[in-house]
Structure 1
Amino acid sequence: MPDQQLAWPNFDEILLEERRSLRSRYETAQPFPYLVLDNLFPAASLKRVTADFDNAQPHHWREIQSGLQCRRVSAPDSPLPSAAQEYFNIVNSGPFARFLSAVTGIPDLIPDPALFGGGMHQVAGGGTFEVHIDFEQHPRTFLSNRLAVITYLNEDWTEEDGGELELWRLKPRERGAAISPVFGRTVIMGQSKIAAHGHLQPIREGRTRRSVTAYFYTNGLLSRMSSDLLPTVYVARKGQSLRQSTELMVRLVTPPLLLGGIKALTQRMHGLFERPH
């Protein structure tokens, strides 16, 4: 509806002085570049997005269950409920991409309307996501992954509810920052070989951690045929279970191309078993 469209801000109107201040915060953040912005998007618009999680149909979702992550995500290229799609239309727009370039210093950012790795994310009670480094390259466009933008949709969230986004240092291997996933909070997070992150504190039973995520890319930094490009890389740390350590070892010794093939085959077989007869 037209009045709903007007609820989203025009990011071209953010003043140059504010953009410079945000860029300074981004570039000096530790343990790697990131920004935390509250109320970047209007609460009323985000509440409509939150309602879409309850209204989404089963075919919108893909379950990911392993020792390293337990969550539900919207599948790439899948239709989204209307308010969620409206959010991504804004985030993938020219004004927002220009805003991101201004506050991060990364020129010519390219959105991904297919939302590979992004979309609607939901973690139920008991769920976690081990510390990891995101994929370096989009598997179809071969563009270089440079930024993740995450907006949280969790009203009345407390520390006891768990699910803090943890940003980790690799040397020494320790947590460098923790971000509570409260409603209306947006995290703009640089993507690189040192951008290790996850949420290790289990979600409290009866609560659900919800977010919407989009990735942004650039062209020309990585060779399409490079053999050392990596998918998502998990980080070994003290306190992991035997199952988690075993999964990490399998991922370590399996070539990325073969690992991707195994994942695709597993997902295809899972879909066959779920298909009604």
Structure 2
Amino acid sequence: MSIFEEEILMLIQCTPRAGAQWPDFDTISEKDSHALAAAFQRASPFPHLVMDHLFPSPMLQAMAKEFDTAAPSDWREYHSGLQRKRGTPPGGHLPPTVQDYFNVVYSGPFVRLLSRITGIDDLIPDPALYGGGMHEVDAGGSFEIHMDFATHPRTRLVNRLALITYFNETWTSEDGGALELWELEPPRCAATVVPHFGRTVIMEQSARAAHGHPQPIREGRQRRSTVAYFYTNGLAARDANDTLATTYVPHAGYSRRQKAELYLRRFAPPMIVKGLKAINKAARTRHTRGRGSKL
């Protein structure tokens, strides 16, 4: 399988606001915006853009430290045969610098920049960060190839863009966890993005935007990122079914357990799937408590 490293674009014309620690994204020139838009549209296998140094390193360093100080109650676990990670829940508490980051990317100047790059007008932020926020994957963890939810479950707005920033120092391809972008017919990896520290990905959300990080994280490493979604009002704007759930992509690399889980997700009634998840969660909780009692 051929995997191509994506082009890295550096925004060097973005100047800081007076007295501020974050850049003023309104200062991006029209020429630079056009260049970024062209790169976004020509990217394969679907529109996306990979950038280094979009956000100032001191702020990202502060955010990385806040991953260590987040309380266990600030996290929600996602463990199944198709994904193994943790993330902050919608409307949950965020550390101060992380909250500043989301305030910036959901601000008028940054949303206007996203519209210029992607050609999508009237983008709408989600302050509750449904599906977004802080994400963390421990050794052995992964997330199978999938398309993200098409519709916000509360607002019913259409999911159009994902913004991902990584916080992984000295990361290499051998550490696993690279973001893979897949073609669907036939299913195959067409591009990969190593999650280096400070790297940011802007990615289209659609019925063809298959992605994930199926390669497990190497022992002794931990993959960290922040994710923000952007929406528009109107289902006609997106070439996808009206689905509230993640849609996984069948491919030859699935284990028997993953195939069984995928079958259940596709054909079993939602209440049965929900019940199985609850049983699995309870079993993990008992296992964790049992380990704790032996320490």
Instruction: Please confirm whether the aligned pair reaches a TM-score higher than 0.5, indicating the same fold.
Output: yes
Counterpart selection for 1:198 from 198, 212, 231:
212
In the alignment, does 2:39 pair up with 1:29? no
CA offsets per residue over residues 98-152 of structure 1, 9 Å max, x none?
1100000000100100000000000011111100000000000000000000000
1:167 Cα deviation (Å)?
A: 0.2
Check 1:113–1:205 CA distance in 2 against 1; reply closer, same or farther (3 A cut). Answer: same
Letter of the structure 1 residue corresponding to residue 21 of structure 2: A
Alignment equivalent of 1:93, drawn from 78, 84, 107: 107
Give the counterpart of 2:223 among 209, 230, 234: 209
Instruction: Report the identity percentage.
Output: 53
Q: Does structure 1 residue 180 correspond to structure 2 residue 194? A: yes
Shift in CA distance, 110/227, structure 1 to aligned 2, threshold 3 Å: closer
Matches within 5 A, 1:233-244: 233-244=247-258
Q: TM-score, normalised by structure 1?
A: 0.90
Query: Which residue number in structure 1 is paired with residue 263 of structure 2?
Result: 249
Q: Cα RMSD between the aligned structures?
A: 2.7
From 7, 10, 22, the equivalent of 2:24 is 10
Query: What's 2:233 paired with?
Result: 219
Structure 1 residue 121 corresponds to structure 2 residue 121: no
- Runs of 4+ in structure 1 deviating by more than 2 angstroms, as ranges, are 226-230, 257-275
Unaligned runs of 5+ in 1: none
Where 2:113 maps in the other structure, the secondary structure is helix
Is the aligned partner of 1:48 residue 2:54? no
8 Å CA contact 1:143–1:222 kept in 2: the answer is no
Count of aligned positions: 270
Q: In the TM superposition, what are the counterparts of 1:252-271 in structure 2 within 5 Å? A: 252-254=266-268, 258=271, 262=275
Mapped to 1, the partners of 2:131 and 2:216 lie a distance apart of: 21
Give the Cα separation in 2 of the matches to 1:129 and 1:194.
17
Q: Find the counterpart in structure 1 of residue 82 from structure 2.
A: 68
1:158 Cα offset (Å):
1.1
The code of the aligned residue for 1:93 comes to S
Per-residue deviation, 1:94:
1.0
| Cα shift at 1:89 | 0.7
Q: 1:94 to 1:178 in 2, by over 3 A?
A: same
- Per the TM alignment, residue 258 of structure 1 is displaced from its structure 2 partner at its CA by 4.6
**d(CA) in 2 for partners of 1:272 and 1:208?**
22
* TM-score for both structures, normalised by structure 2: 0.85
Find out whether 1:170 has 2:184 as its counterpart: yes
Amino acid corresponding to residue 202 of structure 2 in structure 1:
I
Tell me the alpha carbon deviations over residues 24-44 of structure 1, each in whole angstroms, 9 at most, x when there is no partner: 111111000000010100010
Note if contact 1:70-1:123 (Cα within 8 Å) is conserved in structure 2.
yes
